Amino acid sequence: MMSGSRELDLKTVSAAVEELAFQASLELPADIEESLLRAAESESKPLARYALRMLAENAHVARSEGLPLCQDTGMFHLFIELGEGTSLPSGYIAAADRGLREATAKIPLRSSLVDDPLFGRANRGDNTPVVVHVDEGGPAGKVRLTLLAKGGGSENATHLFMLLPGEGWEGVKRVVLEAVIAKGAQACPPIVVGVGVGSDASGAIELALKSLLRPLGSRHQRESLAACEDEMLESINALGIGAAGLGGDITALDVHVEEAPAHIASLPVGVVLCCHALRRRTLEV
């Protein structure tokens, strides 16, 4: 720990993860729920409109009765953003696991993680380990923690494309549409589409994943990328996959694009789809 810095307490990490798991698992974020309601109002196809209304009703029931939003309670990602003057103690990952273990037992949550994925696949029983991502960006003197629960159906729709630089935006748009056409109906639409452009192979996927943390309706601060988000959203919704894959006007609630520097010879593109139950919660400690 640097002199004069505030080191986060291990008990604080555990308690924060436990609280975030409760909130994320039982209560759909307001921006997602409002987007579902708007989609139901604008959807022209009766079956898809019915599906959207049922998804909004599901969120209401989960919140009022203290039930998980989905039987697939997901794989949990913890995003840690360190503010100036803060640091993490040794053992913070184990502390995060303790918090999730407590939440899994108390809510309770279905355990979705298995050991020995190729052969035995024995269920771990507690949803650990948490996948931890550490970055800067929290408020000075504090740490921002965001927990995201990612279901298996939408996780299976993740794609990585290694394009040539000359393929540019048209290449990116082509492969994103390919990903949605191939797996969008299986990812419990309406979906939120995260696109990561640049970095390396693993970094492009992480960029796409992090883009899901942005509020729906927000746009990239760069006007060129904001225009790409709008264009891609229109193109995806023109596919006609619709809510629950029933055909309709609203296949995606939103598209978010994030970028990072890339190698001169590469144009990595990560595509991460998230189901309508985009379960995320944030806490500053």
Burial class (CB within 10 angstroms; exposed 0-12, middle 13-18, buried 19+) of 120:
exposed
Token digits of residue 183: 């797996």
Query: What mean pLDDT comes out for the span 118-127?
Result: 96
Q: What is the mean pLDDT of residues 196-222?
A: 97
3-state secondary structure of 35: helix
Q: Return d(Cα 4, Cα 40) in angstroms, integer.
A: 52
Residue range 146-150: mean pLDDT, rounded: 97
Q: Domain 153-278 class?
A: alpha beta
**pLDDT tens, 57-67?**
999 999 999 99
Domains in the chain: boundaries: 6-26+69-150, 153-278
With H, G, I as helix, E, B as strand and everything else as coil, classify residue 185: helix
**pLDDT tens per residue across span 153-178:** 999 999 999 999 999 999 999 999 99
Rounded Cα–Cα distance for residues 99 and 224 (Å) = 41
Predicted confidence (pLDDT) at residue 2 exceeds the cutoff of 50: no
Helix (H, G, I), strand (E, B) or coil at 216: coil
Surface-to-core class of residue 106, CB atoms within 10 Å of its CB (0-12 exposed, 13-18 middle, 19+ buried): exposed
pLDDT tens digits, 249-262: 999 999 999 999 99
**pLDDT, mean over the chain:** 96
74-98: pLDDT as tens digits: 999 999 999 999 999 999 999 999 9
* C-alpha span between 222 and 151 (Å, rounded): 30
pLDDT at 216: 97
Q: What pLDDT digit, counting tens, does each position of 235-244 carry?
A: 999 999 999 9
pLDDT digits (tens, 9 = 90+) for 7-37: 999 999 999 999 999 999 999 999 999 999 9
Confidence of residue 4 (pLDDT cuts 50, 70, 90): low
List of residues 6+ apart from 210 with CB closer than 8 A: 79, 133, 194, 196, 258
